[in-house]
Amino acid sequence: MKSIVEQVSQRVAAAMALIGAEGDPQVRAAQDDKFGDYQSNCALGLAKKLGKKPREVAEGLVERLEIDDLCARPEIAGPGFINFRLKPSFLARCLEAIPDVSSCGEDRVGVDRVERPERVVVDLSSPNLAKEMHIGHLRSTVIGDCVSRVLEFEGHTVHRENHVGDWGTQFGMLVAHLRSVRPEVADQPDELVISDLESFYVEAKARFDADEAFKRESRETVVELQRGEPVTRRIWKAFCDESLRHCHAIYDRLGVELIDRGESYYTDRMLDVIARLEALQRDRDDGFVAVSDGALCLFMEGFKTRDGDPLPMIVRKSDGGFNYATSDLATIVHRVEELHADRMVYVVGLPQKQHFEMLFAAARQTGWVSENVSFKHLGFGSILAKTGLPFKTREGGTVKLKDVLDEAVVRARSVLERPPSDETKSPRSMTAEEAEAISERVGLAAIKYFDLSHALNSDYKFDLDSMLAMEGNTAPYMMYAYARIRSIGRKAGVDFAAIPGSTPMILEHPVELALARRLLQFAETLELVGRDLKPNILTEYLYDLARYFSRFYDRKLGVRVIDASPEGVRLSRLRLCDLTARVLRVGLDLLGIETVEQM
């Protein structure tokens, strides 16, 4: 089923063609209910092209609009805005067309897949394997997972690439230290277990800084790694595998799936990138590829130093070593030529903005990436402490992500065990296993939802009290809203899944109509999220939907549901409950959040 905004847009586009115009119908959801449900501003832009007044153009469009089956007669407001108010009968037909769960397999709540699916690479998480994942990896991981889920739901083929740091000088230090303190690893690499990677790194770094002989050994180990010396490579791989085990314990807990492809994967490809660039240097005389102070550099137009000089992107250092630019160019070649990507999304913090601008410009200027392939740096802000300062431990170190997740679960357990604020209600008794499982889901959901509900480019303060609040736009509130609807079905003695999809929808009360409209805006909301890659658009929609449902079910402002009569009205309202729960469940799943049936 096409989204309502798409259906209205098609009708407006047809009317535009009849007056000899073309372009964007500019149909948007109305910001204020008094103006209707949807609005088109296209007449204002068309007026100049047609040499007429905007209101005259709007009148011509309304005369030719064939939209009676969707809307009441459109109204013209102001200089030429066209307002649309959907008919209750149309809303009812749209809701009735949503398949029930038993007949649709994957529950898409009536949302179609895109007509032109793409191959999308999402670069997410990307921790350094030298240490354990810390709080700074949270945003890249959960934002990247959410974006991937939405794109997959739309029907795109998504490659979730975890470009981990597993190469470079520090790994010479770590392998040399591991070889010294755990020599058995060379013969038994699969048995390596390091309980605390952070402590291991600190030990190795302290030794590197204090012991000149060990420093030389570490540097020699780097050379051995690069040359592929078998024993050194075996120890290095054991360390990387153990580091990834720590990472995947976090990913599994968060429900995040991805493909690990470290910098080492691109070692040979980086050599190929350099060879290609040197060939460009020989074939072109435009200064794009040049040697500066012994380093091989790329110079793109528009990038200057503070002094106004050309800003180089170094792809091979003067000592012959590679860097992030080399590795990132190699990943682009791989993603275009081997993964056949149509679209590449890099979920990396805002401080890397200029790096990616230069990277994308370089990829275009080499000619390796056509204009048909799109790039996007999905930059995000930082996580701060309540004080507004960087989030650190008391000792000033980075906060381990595992510790943050553990604390959230412990705090969620205490929140769920509090007696209800309403004295007429009693807390539901749970087994220890149930309490543990629900606390885990709620605690992790609280962190994810809080992160995703913020605008990407903004910093936010990490505050578990706010994250775990049972009121407001939080995961606990949203999970409770879903569980509450499920409990309505139990109180009514109805299995929502057993309500036939053919049940007629009877929409008469204003709160029924408002809820129906909001439910049917799920499809266009996902279109916006998929286009702009902004998860907070989805969190805002879901929170808004929960509030619409709350008014619908309110004893004073809403309608009777469980004991409504006649039976047709009761079933219609119960189906509205079910559809709301389904949209909440699907929407929360796209955020990477598992619902619970009872709270």
501 lies in some domain? yes
Task: State residue 392's pLDDT score.
Answer: 83
Q: Are residues 337 and 243 in the same domain?
A: no
Q: Are residues 433 and 551 in the same domain?
A: yes
Q: Are residues 241 and 275 in the same domain?
A: no
Q: Residue 302: give its domain's CATH number.
A: 3.40.50.620
Q: Are residues 68 and 197 in the same domain?
A: no
Structure tokens at 418: 């509090």
Q: Are residues 250 and 270 in the same domain?
A: no
58 lies in some domain? yes
Q: Are residues 452 and 512 in the same domain?
A: yes
277 lies in some domain? yes
559 lies in some domain? yes
Structure tokens at 351: 């401080």
427 lies in some domain? yes
Q: Are residues 278 and 247 in the same domain?
A: no
Alpha carbon 99 to chain centroid distance? Answer: 27
Token pair 């259906």 in the structure block, residue: 7
144 lies in some domain? no
Task: State residue 429's pLDDT score.
Answer: 67
Alpha carbon 51 to chain centroid distance? Answer: 44
How many domains is the chain built from?
A: 4
Task: State residue 103's pLDDT score.
Answer: 67
Q: Which spans in 71-137 are helix H?
A: 88-96, 101-104
Q: Are residues 300 and 238 in the same domain?
A: no
Nearest to 112, CA basis, from 62, 174, 154? 154
Which residues, listed in sequence order, are joined to residue 292 by a DSSP beta bridge?
Answer: 295
For the segment 420-455, what is each residue's pLDDT rounded down to a tens digit?
554 434 455 678 888 899 999 999 999 999 999 999
Q: Are residues 365 and 319 in the same domain?
A: yes
564 lies in some domain? yes
**Which residues of the chain have a pLDDT value below 70?**
102-104, 395, 419-429
> Which of 37, 68, 86 is the last residue in one of the domains?
86
Q: Are residues 450 and 556 in the same domain?
A: yes
CB 435 within 8 A of CB 412: no
Q: Are residues 372 and 425 in the same domain?
A: no
> Which of 238, 256, 274 is the last residue in one of the domains?
256
CB 366 within 8 A of CB 276: yes
Q: Residue 75: give its domain's CATH number.
A: 3.30.1360.70
Range of the domain at 224: 169-256
Type and span of the H or E element at 420: none
Q: Are residues 305 and 422 in the same domain?
A: no
Nearest to 119, CA basis, from 143, 154, 145? 154
Instruction: Tabulate helix, strand, coil % of the chain (nearest 5).
Output: 55, 10, 35
Task: State residue 415's pLDDT score.
Answer: 86
Residues with Cβ within 8 Å of residue 1, at least 6 apart in sequence: 94, 97, 98, 110, 111, 112, 523
Burial of residue 556 (CB within 10 Å: 0-12, 13-18, 19+) is exposed
Burial of residue 302 (CB within 10 Å: 0-12, 13-18, 19+) is exposed
Q: Which amino acid is at 321?
A: G
463 lies in some domain? yes
> Which of 224, 256, 288 is the last residue in one of the domains?
256
